[in-house]
Amino acid sequence: MKQLATIALLLNILISTFGCQLGPNNDATRGTDNSGLEYFSAKHGDGNGLSKMVPLSVRKGFDSVRNIDDVAKFAAKVPGAIGFTAHPHFEQGTRYASAILWYTTLSSPQNSWPFYLFDETEAKKKPGDKPRSEALAAAEAYVQSKMAMAKELIDASGSRGVKLTGDADDQQVLALAIMRLGGSFEHNGEFGTANFGLCGGCRILVPGGTPPLCGLGVQKKKHWGCCGSTEKKSHCQFWQWFKKQNPGL
C-alpha cells in the first residue's frame, strides 16, 4: 500500500509539473486567477496589416507584472482589449508587451510576437482567415481620419511624391489614404548596391531575395533600398505592395 501511495504521489507531482510547463505553442487554456479570466494561444499572428496596440510597459502598475498570466490580467484592464502580445522572452526579462485592440491581417505566428486572445474562436483562426468585422471597420475609420492630411501632403510634394517619415503605424495609414487620392511616393532609401548582396535596406519584394541577401545587390544592379526599383527617377513602389497585403482597405 505504501508503494502504491508513493507512486500516486509521484504521478501527481509529474502532472502538476507538466501542467505548469505548458508553453505558448500548445492549445491549452491559460489563466487561473480567481476572476475566471481565460486566454488562448492564437494559431496566427499579424503581418503587414493595420493594427492597434496599446503598449503596457508605460502604464502604471506594470512593474508588478512578472509572467504571462500577469500580462493577461493587466491587458484585460485596457478598454476594448481583445487580447495581448508579449516578447517571446518576456518571462526571462525582455519586458515588452501590448494589449491588442484590433488587427486586419492574420498571418503566420512566426511573423509577429505570440498572440494571446480572450476569445477561443478567434484564437483558433488560421493564417489567411478573415479578420473580425469590427477590426476592418476600425481600420477604415483610421484611414478616413488621415484623408485631409494625405491631401495636404500630396499638394505639398508636387511631382516628387510624398516622402513618409515618423511613426510606422502612421506611415501605413497615411500611405493607404494617399493611394486612395491617387498620390505617389518619393523613394525612402539609398540608391546603390551593397557588397555581397547584403542589402539591409531592401524589402522582401526585391526579386530573388530577402533583406539579408538582395537579388539585385548580388547582380550589382543599382536600386533603391526601399522598393528595389532600378530607375532613379521613378516613384517608390513599396506602398503599392503594402496595399496588396490589405485588400479590404
Q: How far lies 17's CA from each of 10, 11, 14, 38, 92, in Å?
A: 10, 10, 5, 20, 19
Measured CA to CA, the distance from residue 227 to residue 204 in angstroms comes to 9
Q: What is the share, in percent, of the chain residues with pLDDT greater than 70? A: 80
Average the pLDDT over 87-95 and give the result.
Answer: 95
pLDDT bin (cut points 50, 70, 90) of residue 205 is low
CA nearest neighbour of 186 among 239, 113, 246 = 239
Whole-number Å distance between alpha carbons of 166 and 228: 21
Q: Which residue has the higher pLDDT, 211 or 126?
A: 126
> Residue 79 phi/psi, 5° resolution?
-55, 130
- CA atoms lying within 13 Å on the CB side of residue 135: 21
The pLDDT tens digits of the residues spanning 44-81 come to: 999 878 999 999 999 999 999 999 999 999 999 999 99
- The pLDDT value recorded for residue 33 is 52
Strand partners, 115: 85
Question: How many C-beta atoms lie closer than 10 Å to residue 234's C-beta?
Answer: 13
pLDDT at 104 over 80: yes
Q: What is the pTM of this model?
A: 0.76
- Predicted confidence (pLDDT) at residue 98 exceeds the cutoff of 80: yes
Q: Please, are residues 53 and 101 in contact by the beta-carbon 8 Å criterion?
A: yes
- Over range 217-234, report the average pLDDT: 86
Q: Is the pLDDT of residue 34 over 80?
A: no
Average pLDDT over residues 68-95: 96
pLDDT digits (tens, 9 = 90+) for 2-29: 343 433 433 343 333 333 333 444 454 5
pLDDT more than 90, % of the chain? 57
Q: What is the pLDDT of residue 45?
A: 94
- Please give the pLDDT value at position 203: 65
Tell how strand 39-41 and strand 29-30 pair up: antiparallel
Q: What integer is the mean pLDDT of 143-152? A: 97
Mean predicted confidence (pLDDT) in 211-237: 84
